[in-house]
Amino acid sequence: MTSSAAPLPHVLFDLDGTLTDPYEGITRCLQHALSELGHDIRTQIELRSCIGPPLRQTFASLLATDDSELIERAVAHYRERFFSVGLFENELYAGTIEMLEALQRNGHRMFIVTSKVASAASRIIEYFGIAQFFERVYGSDLDGRFDDKGELIAHVLIENGLHPSHCVMVGDRLHDIQAARRNEMSSIGATWGFAVDDELSVAGATCLCSDPTRLP
């Protein structure tokens, strides 16, 4: 990702499914929330595809409802377990640190841009010892502001004075790719994450990558 003819691209990283594997934590917290609501509990495998989208969107789908009060109750139950336990039921993908070191060495500015609550994302990267690689951590607010990743990316661009043509979004779900396209930004689909079938290519990823250490 270097070029002598153009500015070095600024790299916007998704977190879940891109830098870390939160499968255990997220699926167990989803199960906890469903149980607290007296709803049928899905298996962890069945909940795998729920990793990535905004939490409120996930519960609207799982509960088959648009009842905002019920969705907020589900979110509250999820977070009561997540912030105390689920946050740390997580692990770095192999090659993540090597990838970040190489990007830093080559002069790329890096940011976290996640649908996860920003404060939780900050705790996670500090826990794994990778916070020093990132200028800023951007995520949603507890009240749902910036749940929409396209709006979040636009906010990141404005706040940091970045031009989309000098940036690339790296993420593992279609929401990352679609959000990048809405902001006229290139994207790299991380196929080592939680994408289902060919969702990244269908969503329009500029290119795909199967291993963090092979990031273009």
Query: Could you list the active site residues?
Result: 14
Reading the block at residue 26, the tokens are: 């997220």
Report how far residue 91's alpha carbon sits from residue 23's, in angstroms, rounded to the nearest whole number.
9
Burial class (CB in 10 A: 0-12, 13-18, 19+), 104: middle
All residues at 6 or more sequence positions from 82 whose CB lies less than 8 Å from its CB, including other chains: 25, 26, 29, 120
Residues 6+ apart with CB under 8 A from 164: 157, 183, 184, 185
Angle at 109 between CA 114 and CA 188, to 5 degrees: 55
Place of tokens 């199960």: 31
DSSP codes joined into one string, 121-186: HHHHHHHTT-GGG-SEEEEE-TTSTT-SHHHHHHHHHHHHT--GGGEEEEESSHHHHHHHHHTT-E
